[in-house]
Copies of this chain bind each other. A is one copy, B any other.
């Protein structure tokens, strides 16, 4: 006999499985297939652990890791919104708000509150942990795309200006990783991979 509490936790865990089928615009290294949300979140969490020395501020790395692991959960309902797709971004907030409510409500009340708070803290980007987790959310696809000659940008005709707009946020979490980001963007701009 599984307790009601554990059953809710198991239901949420099985619901999470769907993140493995949400495809992103980023491709795996060696010009591989498109990456999914679960893989992206896993990669970000390991990166956070390995690169924590570059955070501008002291961080609770455990909190950063769990933020990384769950930050895309709303995409189960709302789908992935490509960060340079302005049209889709207009309805993104509304779609993700509804998804957040439905998904975290599967959990027992205390964990619903805890995960909602972690998710919202990440989204708001106003704590050291959220800033560093967001730097990972930028830096992870940047590294993959850089290894693939910037093909993800080329495919969508993205401009360097747009990339700076998004990747500029990395500076808030890590000056050191932003320096590398800046070098990578400059390289691809010069190589003609970015408009």
A38 in complex: contacting residue of B2, B13, B43, CB < 8 Å: B43
| Copies of the protein in its oligomer | 2
Q: Which residues of B contact A65 (CB under 8 A)?
A: 45, 62, 65-66, 69
Main secondary structure of the interface of A (DSSP, over half): helix
Q: Is the CB of A32 within 8 A of B42?
A: no
A107 CB, nearest partner CB in chain B, Å: 8
Q: Which of A35-73 contact B (CB under 8 A)?
A: 35-36, 38-39, 41-43, 45-47, 49-51, 54, 61-62, 65-66, 69-70
A81 close to chain B: CB less than 8 A: no
Q: Which of A1-59 contact B (CB under 8 A)?
A: 1-2, 6, 9-10, 12-14, 16-18, 20-21, 28-29, 32, 35-36, 38-39, 41-43, 45-47, 49-51, 54
Q: Is the CB of A13 within 8 A of B45?
A: no
Nearest B-chain residue to A7, judged by Cβ: B180
Q: Is the CB of A17 within 8 A of B45?
A: no
Given the contacts A21-B32, A32-B21, A42 and B38 also touching, CB distance less than 8 Å: yes
Q: Is the CB of B13 within 8 A of A20?
A: no
Q: In the complex the two chains form, what is the Cα distance from A143 to B9 in whole Å?
A: 12
